[in-house]
Amino acid sequence: MDTPSPWLDADQQELWQDLLTVVIALPAALDRQLQRDAGISNFEYGVLARLSMADHVTMRFSELARDCNSTLPRLSKLMDRFEAREWIVRRVDPSDGRYTLATLTDSGQQKLVDSAPGHVAQVRRLVFDSLTATQRRHFGTALSNVAETVRREAAGGPTG
């Protein structure tokens, strides 16, 4: 392979700065709105949302962690809090004692329903309203590539 120039050019720098702004400030903005209006974080919202879409509103911890871009310790501790608020119940998987199942309770579902509209509105406002229909398509395509690369990295990646 030839020697790749070690630095980013001006265009790349600008894109990179904007991307940094988005990856840092966007989650912060989502957290602010959810914290203010619903007392939960963006991550917590995501877990409730994912569970609500599962069969019998029930999932294994490991699967839930993967889908929510989380680690197991992080999810385990979150579930402690959710259990205390009675938003989920924990039980050992009867078919394999290593797995733990989380099931969303009625009040957990209610919490999601209550906080969803404000959150969705915030997502619209911060992301979709900034883009034309064409831009949205292009953005989606490019983003899908980057997301795929990053997902692979998060798994075994180039190290494994």
Three-state DSSP state, 88: strand
The minimum distance between CB 80 and DNA, in angstroms, equals 6
Q: Which residue among 29, 38, 52, 99 contacts DNA (CB under 7 A)?
A: 99
The answer to whether residues 72 and 65 touch, using CB atoms and an 8 Å cutoff, is yes
- Confirm or reject binding of residue 53 to a copy of itself (CB under 8 A): no
Residue the block writes with tokens 């600008």: 14
Backbone dihedral angles phi then psi of residue 88, each to the nearest 5 degrees: -140, 165
* DSSP class of 125: H
- Confirm or reject binding of residue 124 to DNA (CB under 7 A): no
Select the binding partner of residue 135 from a copy of itself, DNA, none (C-beta < 5 to 8 A, by kind). Answer: a copy of itself
Q: What is the rounded CA–CA span in Å between residue 94 and residue 45?
A: 28
- Confirm or reject binding of residue 107 to a copy of itself (CB under 8 A): no
- Confirm or reject binding of residue 10 to a copy of itself (CB under 8 A): no
Distance of alpha carbon 78 from the chain centroid: 14
First-to-final CA distance of the chain? 22
Q: Which residue among 1, 3, 11, 96 contacts a copy of itself (CB under 8 A)?
A: 11
- Confirm or reject binding of residue 6 to DNA (CB under 7 A): no
- Confirm or reject binding of residue 24 to a copy of itself (CB under 8 A): yes
- Confirm or reject binding of residue 51 to DNA (CB under 7 A): no
Beta strands in the chain (DSSP E): 58-60, 88-92, 100-104
**Which residues bind to DNA, rule: CB under 7 A?**
28, 32, 35, 41, 43, 60-62, 65, 70-74, 76-81, 90, 93, 96-100
